[in-house]
Amino acid sequence: MLPVHDVNPTRRTPVVTYLLIAVNVVAFLLSPVSHHVVGEDSAKAECKTVAFFDRYAAEPKEILRNRQDPSGATGAVGREGGRTGCVASTPAPFEKIPVLSVLTAMFLHGGWLHLLGNMLFLYVFGNNVEDRLGRLKYLLFYLGCGYAATYGHSLFTPSSSTPLVGASGAIAGVLGAYLVLFPRARVWSLLTFFFFLPVRLPAWLVLGGWFVLQYLYFRGAGVADGGGVAYGAHVIGFVVGAALVWRLRNSAQQRQLQPRWGPYAQR
């Protein structure tokens, strides 16, 4: 199920959502990952990407200890024992603040499909959450969900040096908030079987189904190794996002139940 549009108008232009999409796209275009499509030498491009992620991506082992790994990739290609690989040096050829790498990692992506998929979900669901929370609170909410997702996932793999990149954890928080705030909003989605079938479904079904799939993948159902996707970050980001706006949902319902006129009306 691929959501492409929701029937849920907003009161103001989602400036922050558009800005986040723009920053993610620009960051991707400036990263070595985007160079793979222009015919750059594969080994050289791969080593540049490894060095780039080594420096700017979040690594569970580093962020949990808030201490940089003493070794780091240089971006150069080397040969040892007849095999080609990426050169690393000790000490690392760069300085890194692990807690800030969580922030930079939120704006990096591993490929075009990774980027476009994340930006589609942010575009469809982010505007209404921004409209409800307000621009500044929405930005802080987005970043907070991203941090929670990254650190939460890292707790499950505390000794891992695998770089974590992508806005998925933060966007999962936006999806969780949308589900809580607008569960009955209608979402146009494409059902993919042997062809694309457009259907209009309630948000609780689209996003609830997405969350269940992420949880099953996180638990290892139906996949061998997760395909390099940090499903734990998706699950944690979604739950955190839903929890953070739950009180807002309840307060909105209470305001709707208050009488407008008479001795009990409140202003």
- pLDDT, position 257: 37
Which residues are CB-neighbours of 179 under 8 A, at least 6 positions away?
203, 204, 207, 208, 211, 242
pLDDT tens figures, 126-154: 999 999 999 999 999 999 999 999 999 99
Which residues are CB-neighbours of 193 under 8 A, at least 6 positions away?
none
What total number of domains does the chain contain?
A: 1
Q: Is residue 56 part of a domain?
A: no
Q: Is residue 79 part of a domain?
A: no
Q: Is residue 139 part of a domain?
A: yes
Q: Is residue 88 part of a domain?
A: no
pLDDT tens figures, 202-232: 999 999 999 998 988 887 743 433 446 788 8
CB atoms within 10 A of CB 77: 16
Q: Is residue 73 part of a domain?
A: no
- DSSP H or E run through 129: helix 112-133
* Mean pLDDT to the nearest integer, 100-128: 94
The closest alpha carbon to 13, from 126, 118, 170, 144, belongs to 126
CATH number at residue 231: 1.20.1540.10
Residue 14 is part of which domain span? 2-34+98-257
Q: Is residue 21 part of a domain?
A: yes
Q: Is residue 61 part of a domain?
A: no
Q: Is residue 233 part of a domain?
A: yes
